[in-house]
Chain A
Amino acid sequence: MKRRDFLFADTSTDKRVKDDILFQAVLAPKKGVLTSEDAKHLLKRTTYNVSQALIDKFTGMDVSDAVDMILGDGLDELPENEDRLPNGSDSLGWIGDPIEQNPKTAGDVTIRGKLEGILRNRFKEFVDWLIELKRNEVIDENNSSKEKFSDFLSTIWNIEFTYDTDEFLPPNLLYKNNYTLRKLRFSSYKKIAEEMTLDGAFLLYQSLNLSTKGNPNENYARELLELFTMGIGNYNEYNIREMSKLLTGWRTAPYKQMGAPNGYFNTYFVPEEHDVEEKIVFQKSFPARDQDSNNEFKVREEEVMRLITVIFEERADAIANFIMTKVYKFFVYSNPGAIDETFINQLATVFKDNDFNLRAVYKFLFTSDYFYEDRFRGIQIKTPVEFFLNLQSETGVSYDQTRIALLQTDQEIYEPINVAGWLGHRTWISTNTYPYRATHARSIVDRMSQENIFAYVTNISGSTEAETFINNLSNFVFPKAIAPDRLAYLKSVLLVGIEESSFADELANQSDTLRTNLIELIKQITITPDYHLT
């Protein structure tokens, strides 16, 4: 029995223990406890909401325990753990509610406008809700990190709200898709591929909803291989054509007028549209089927699910390398010219040995010596989401223009530039986006209340002494210590019109002068290059 079969077949809770034993045998993780710098590095890379208090909590923890707290048990996908996941039905009342028809099919221009308006409003609410989830994220014994790890998957499985020629993807489907990725963020990547292939949002976005026998559409088949699993150079055009035939016949039901055999927003199968001829993918035969076997249940099992199995079996190495490269770029260093193949191979081995389980990979990564090397600290350019959420977390401000800020800094949620998603690294920063970061950062700081401003100070330890405060603040907001002259400069901004010796008094009295200076200081921090690094 292959080791893989053993892990896969075993569904007891001992599974988690077996995983730990497995990878510990492969390589010795970083030993010992986390220093405060280690804790800061780990937390900044795994969550958007990092406070000094959270860093303090993780300081002194054993690295394995710390990572276990961040990852949780990885079993959110189990039905009994449903309540762990954020449920949108309270804030987003329209989750189960389909609109009448596809706006594009409405003959009347007024009706079309009205329907599009509904979809746009729902989309805005959905995105605002997602942003709120990120703001409110808590990491502790009962709450694992959800946002960064779901976002990581979203950067692979890209979807655009506005696609093709002015089509809008019903936000109900985006919500479902997002929920699925969050649920499976620590699960098997194979499972993710299975669920995404028949996911309603993808059926629409990648034209599978229109794919019929005789006229199959290649869009999804190509992207599944090229963008979502293995990358180019690992398949040929013949495979794409055969896969397109295999994937015919699946539909989603987002509109009242179009019927919903499995309920609205659930995927269903139309046998008449399915190509029942034999298909050969990666040299494996998917035999032709007759009327009796051309039904939803069988086609799903014997063709779609089996397709994913075949892909992961036939191209395990390519998939592992491709996906682990993405993990590396997202969590370690996004520079496409600095990919460390050796370490990625280690990640790939863990990935394959654990049947493509993501939690196993993350556990390995975040407890490795490698991750904590100094050369990886402070080299990641913050994504716009990271930049704005870090700042809101630090300032205590809930910025209602976050969605706009993200649009203007090129990370409009669910509107990536195209299906390959964002290129990341330095493409986040241009003479267009950098000024927008600065402008919105200023707006955020301007919205700090009196309470926020002085809490900003007291949240930093050693805050009654100007010198200590500046040093500790700098250590908190910047990834690495900055040169003494720059510290001196920041201190000078803090102490405009204030004697250093009276800093403690000014603080206690919450003086107007100090308040003004603090606002200016925080703004200066936001246009410091170091602040854009993590």
Chain B
Amino acid sequence: MKRRDFVKTSAGITAGVIAAPYIMKANHKPTFKPASELGFDDDDNITIIIELFGGHDGLNTIYPAESAKLHEFREFALEPEESIKIEEGLGLYYHPSLVNNIVDDGFRGLGNTGRLAVIEGVGYNNMTMSHFRSRDIWHSGINNTDPKFPLLDGWLGRFIASKLTNYPEEVPDHPIAVSMGGTIPLALKSEKGDMGIALINPEVFFNQGAGLKPPYPSMVGDDNYTKENNFLHTVGLQSEQYSKAIYEAYQSGQNSFDYKSESLFEKAFETISRLINGGLKTKIFYIGRNFFDSHVMQQIGPTEGQHPLYLNQVARSVSNFMKDASNLGFEKRITGYTFSEFGRRVKQNGSRGTDHGAGSMMFVFGHFNNLQGGIQGTPPDLDVLDENDNIRVRPEEDFRRIYSDFLKYRFAATDTEIENVFGEYIDPYEVLRAYVSVEDDYIKGGKEVGLSVYPNPSMGKSKLAFELKKATNLKLLVYSYDGSFQKEIANGFIQAGNYTFDLNIFKLGMYTAVLIIKGRRYSTKFTVVR
């Protein structure tokens, strides 16, 4: 009798019969290939995803420090003097934890060099204030708050799985995605299995991974026992294969400076940088941070309290990483973003904290070629809250639009592929774009010629001229040679056209006129003489 005849096919055979042994695949050994041979675009883009779990209080990260309403609602809100004003205006300030004591002026530095975008008011329709459901929604990319509808896989998991058509016979030679920490987030899970691996320590992983590859093939069958068994089998296999690839990259890579990490979270960024430098071909790195659920004692001043503490860790980590990336020469490959399952209540609660909110903000960061920096979206409107006293979220600020951006611009996804990931086509937000130089886009003539001051030198009365190709918000400021602010010449939204502005600065000295458009700065010098 053939072995196959013993295989049980019907359910409900009562005990007393030991179930027949299961069939194994003949010669099952997966083939490891580079991702570009498995349907992925042949680019070297890397995406860093940072989850701030618990409900990150965006309103205490980028906020209108001068707003009386803000201070009325929140005793703990910082004053303008304690906060760091954002150049672009809109009355918004950086929380000092984002800037102070961080390399290269932290997020202000990133912002000033076009490496940071703030997307305000992001969320989804009818946000739920359940951590777990909302988080699942952000990870799965499916906007469904009905608990009867289980969310079992992630947007990236589905995308990666759609590329790996011969999984698990053909798999990437390096892990496509790595979750720094012990668990695989829902975002990376798919029906086919986990599309990423978990990593804490490359050396430990390598030592422990040895010998875990099962010395026999996986099983054939559709039943749950076979599926769970094969899942374990694959993890054992991946542990051995990927721990080698990671170890090799870790040994050959290095950081350009010591991040002086004080937590595992910060250390993870150091590790990522070293792995990239060492040649690991992973495309996605995910890191999560807990502790943003600040119901109690959220903030006791600019540096003390749950919120400033963990926000500072995040800002430090990202800033260190970006500097390292720049030093090591792979900065051009990097984009990333932060997200959280929701923001927090506008009014504080009785424990000097805040309860769960709705819409919040996301940071998008990366090399300035990869994104349009600056404040985008709708800054929080404290006058018009929703029915739960939360910041309103507008339909166009759906978080999936940011994901769609990444799929389109960083993973070369087609519109059809985007539609397959979400079940419907999601219009990209367009914060990520192939970077178009502001000079070419807005100012006719290029950098130096574009802005001109005449007469120069002058005795005070002079004019600044430029031709604007596209309507935009802009600001025109004048600083003296020592960097101190002199005056604001213009601030607002203007149509395309030719413009001249009177400068009229009569104090002797050298000055710089700075035109700021979407976070990019254009400057030209002029002098006032006797």
Min Cβ gap A163→B in Å is 10
A489 engages B216 (CB within 8 Å): yes
> Are A379 and B224 in touch, CB under 8 angstroms?
yes
B290 near A: Cβ within 8 Å?
yes
- A434/B224 contact (C-beta < 8 A), A165-B306, A217-B350, A374-B19 known: no
Knowing A336-B150, A337-B152, A433-B182, the reply to whether A528 touches B214 (Cβ < 8 A) is yes
B8 touches A529 (CB 8 A): no
Instruction: Give A211 to B129 CA distance when docked, in angstroms.
Output: 20
Interface residues on A, range: 35 or more
* Chain B CB within 8 A of A431 CB: yes
The listed residue (B15, B129, B152, B181) touching A35 by CB distance below 8 A is B15
Which residues of chain A have C-beta atoms less than 8 A from B290's C-beta?
A: 417-418
- Whether A156 is near chain B, meaning CB under 8 Å from some CB there, is no
Count, A-B residue pairs, CB within 8 A: 194
Residues of A with C-beta under 8 A to B363: none
* Also in contact, A375 and B224, with CB within 8 A (given A165-B291, A237-B129, A435-B239): yes
Q: CB-defined interface of A225-243 with B at 8 Å, one 1/0 digit per residue?
A: 0110001110001000000
Q: Does A480 contact B (CB under 8 A)?
A: yes
B150 near A431 with CB under 8 A, answer: no
**Residue A139 lies at the interface, judged by CB distance under 8 Å to chain B:** no
Are B306 and A164 touching (Cβ within 8 A)? yes
Shortest CB-to-CB span from A335 to chain B, Å, is 7
Provide the A404-430 mask, 1 if CB < 8 A to any CB of B, else 0: 000000100000011010000011011
Tell me which residues from 292 to 321 in chain B have a Cβ below 8 Å from any Cβ of chain A: 295-297, 305-306, 309
- The one of B148, B232, B297 in contact with A532, judged by C-beta atoms closer than 8 angstroms, is B232
Interface check B48, CB cutoff 8 A: no
B11 interface contact, C-beta 8 A: yes
**Interface residue A333 (Cβ < 8 Å from any Cβ of B):** yes
Q: Bound complex: CA of A43 vs CA of B50, how far in Å?
A: 43
Contact A38 B15 (CB under 8 A): yes
Asked if residues A373 and B12 are in contact (CB atoms below 8 Å), the reply is: yes
- Of the 9-residue stretches B107-115, B192-200, B473-481, which lies at the interface with chain A? B192-200
- List the one stretch of B33-41, B203-211, B500-508, B521-529 in contact with chain A: B203-211
Instruction: Find out whether the CB atom of A207 lies under 8 angstroms from the CB atom of B295.
Output: yes
Within 8 A of B (CB), among A410-465: 410, 417-418, 420, 426-427, 429-436, 438-439
> A303 an interface residue at 8 Å Cβ cutoff?
no
How many angstroms between the C-alpha atoms of A486 and B21 in the bound complex? 10
**Given A435-B239, A529-B214, A335 contacting B199 (CB threshold 8 A):** no
Does any Cβ of A come within 8 Å of B323's Cβ? no
Give the distance in Å from the alpha carbon of A227 to the alpha carbon of B130 in the complex. Answer: 9
**How distant is A71 from chain B, measured CB to nearest CB, in Å?**
20
The number of residues on chain B lying at the interface, defined by a beta carbon within 8 Å of a beta carbon of chain A, is 75
Nearest opposing residue in chain A for B237, CB measure: A431
Does B225 belong to the interface (CB within 8 Å)? yes
CA distance A20 to B455 in the complex (A): 101
Q: Evaluate whether A530 and B229 lie within 8 angstroms (CB atoms) in the complex, with A335-B224, A433-B198 already known.
A: yes
At the interface, yes or no: B485 with Cβ under 8 Å from chain A? no
For the complex, is B449 an interface residue (Cβ under 8 Å from A)?
no
Given known A164-B306, A232-B128, A434-B235, contact A481–B18 (CB-CB < 8 A)? yes
B23 located at the interface, meaning its Cβ lies under 8 Å from any Cβ of chain A in the complex? yes
Report if A72 contacts B (CB, 8 A): no
In the assembly, what is the distance between CA of A141 and CA of B269, in Å? 56
Residues of B within 8 A of A379 (CB): 224-225, 228
Determine how close the nearest CB of chain B comes to the CB of A167; give it in whole angstroms.
Answer: 9
Shortest Cβ distance from B317 into chain A, in angstroms? Answer: 18
Chain B residues with CB under 8 A of A435 = 205, 208-209, 212, 239, 243
Q: Are B21 and A484 in contact (CB under 8 A)?
A: yes
By beta carbon, the residue of chain A nearest B16 is A35
A377 within 8 A of B: yes
Q: State whether the Cβ of B231 lies closer than 8 Å to any Cβ in chain A.
A: yes
Q: Which B residues lie within 8 Å of A381 (CB)?
A: 228, 232
Cβ A432 vs Cβ B200 within 8 A: yes
Q: Are the CB atoms of B349 and A527 closer together than 8 Å?
A: no
Whether A483 lies near B21 (C-beta < 8 A) is: yes
Check A434/B19 contact, CB under 8 A, given A427-B184, A533-B228: no
Q: Are A420 and B216 in contact (CB under 8 A)?
A: no
Q: How far is the CA of A431 from the CA of B231 in the complex (A)?
A: 12
Is the CB–CB distance between B150 and A378 below 8 Å? Answer: no
Are the C-beta atoms of B11 and A374 separated by less than 8 Å? yes
A532 to B231, CA, bound (A): 11
B window 124-183: CB within 8 A of A: 128-133, 145-148, 150, 152, 179, 181-183
The answer to whether B215 has its CB under 8 Å from any CB of chain A is: yes
Which residue in B53, B183, B209, B242 is a CB contact (below 8 Å) of A427?
B183
Q: Is A14 an interface residue when CB atoms closer than 8 A count as contact?
A: no
Give bound CA distance, A528 to B21, whole Å.
15
Inter-chain contact B238/A217, CB cutoff 8 Å: no
Please measure, in the bound complex, the distance between the C-alpha atom of A216 and the C-alpha atom of B349, giving whole angstroms: 7
- State which of B133, B211, B225, B356 has its C-beta within 8 Å of the C-beta of A232: B133
Other CB < 8 Å A-B pairs besides A232-B128, A379-B225, A527-B212, 20 of them? A164-B297, A164-B306, A216-B350, A217-B355, A233-B146, A233-B147, A338-B224, A339-B150, A381-B228, A418-B54, A418-B131, A430-B179, A432-B181, A434-B232, A439-B208, A480-B19, A481-B19, A485-B216, A529-B229, A529-B236
16 contacts between A and B (CB under 8 A): A164-B295, A214-B350, A217-B350, A233-B147, A237-B129, A372-B14, A374-B15, A377-B225, A417-B290, A418-B131, A427-B183, A430-B182, A431-B209, A479-B225, A481-B21, A533-B228
Q: Which residues of B contact A (CB under 8 A)?
A: 8, 11-16, 18-24, 53-54, 128-133, 145-148, 150, 152, 179, 181-184, 194, 197-200, 205, 208-209, 211-212, 214-216, 223-225, 228-233, 235-236, 238-239, 242-243, 290-291, 295-297, 305-306, 309, 349-351, 355-356, 388
The 9 closest A-B pairs by CB, nearest first: A215-B350, A435-B208, A529-B232, A430-B198, A432-B198, A431-B197, A483-B21, A38-B15, A165-B306
